[in-house]
Amino acid sequence: MSTERPILSDKELWQRLATGRPAAPVTVSDMDFAAWLEGRLPEATAARIEAAVAADPALREAALDLADILGKPLPVPPPRIAVRAQALVGFAAERQASRTSWWAGFLPDFGGSLGFQRGAVAGITAIVAAVGFLLGGGLGESYVEGKYASLQSTTDTRASGRDAINDLTDLFSDNT
């Protein structure tokens, strides 16, 4: 029987060893991680990040995946990714520039379109004018009033003339 210990391969040797775990998990900021991935950190800082990456399997996996992705041509993304993301930001800058008068601040914001805003102003103006007109009696009533007024003045004139003729007639009939 052999008393010699079996020769371990490098992998077997490593698997029989346990590295010490840090007392508390080290947090690596996105900025530090990115700088480390690009090899831009000074040696001491890089060593700290490497210790954190070595201790955390998820961080290690992330580092390897990102290094692989950043090192090769990227596939064309589905167009919907850009369409949905672009809709997150509206024309705020243009909206702010178009608000030149104080009353524009009271207008509803139609998603930043100046055309919609002007349409809303015209619409509101028309509504106010129409309501005022109706409250004032409208076209029909004013026409009737005008007509009545003209008729009244004509009738009054005729009535006064008829009275004068009747007086004269009475005057002459009494004298004969």
Partner 1 sequence: MTELSQIDLRSLATGHKRTWDAFVAAASPLINAVVRRTLSNQRPGEDDVLDAAQDVFVRLCAHDFRLLKTYDPARAGLSTWLAVVARSAAVDFARRRRQSTAPIDEVPEAALAVEDRHVEKLKIPEGLLTERQTLILKCLYDQERDVSEVAQLLKIDAQTVRSTHHKALLRLREYFKGEAP
Part in contact with partner 1 (CB under 8 A); list of ranges 35-43, 100-108, 144-152, 164-172: 35-43
- Shortest Cβ 105–partner 1 spacing (Å): 19
Residues 6+ apart with CB under 8 A from 105: 99
Distance in angstroms (rounded) separating the CA atoms of residues 138 and 60 = 80
Nearer to partner 1, 81 or 159 (CB): 81
CB of 12 to partner 1, least distance (A): 9
Q: Please, which residues have CB within 8 angstroms of residue 92's CB and are 6 or more apart in sequence?
A: 112
112 and 91 Cβ atoms separated by less than 8 Å = yes
User: Site map for partner 1, 71-90, x if CB under 8 A?
Assistant: x--xxxxx-xxx-xxx-xxx
Residue whose structure tokens are 């003209």: 150
Q: Are 53 and 63 in contact (CB under 8 A)?
A: yes
> Which one of 61-69, 123-131, 154-162, 168-176 is the stretch in contact with partner 1 (CB under 8 A)?
61-69
- Binding segment for partner 1 among 54-62, 103-111, 157-165, 168-176 (CB under 8 A)? 54-62
The rounded distance, in Å, linking the Cα atoms of 107 and 118 is: 10
Q: First vs last Cα of the chain: how many Å apart? A: 179
**Smallest separation (angstroms) from partner 1 to the CB of 109:** 15
- Within positions 90 to 109, which residues make up the interface with partner 1, using CB under 8 A? 90-94
Among 16, 27, 108, 175, binds partner 1 (CB under 8 A): 16
- The three-class DSSP label of residue 107 is coil
Q: Which is nearer to partner 1, 9 or 160 (CB)?
A: 9
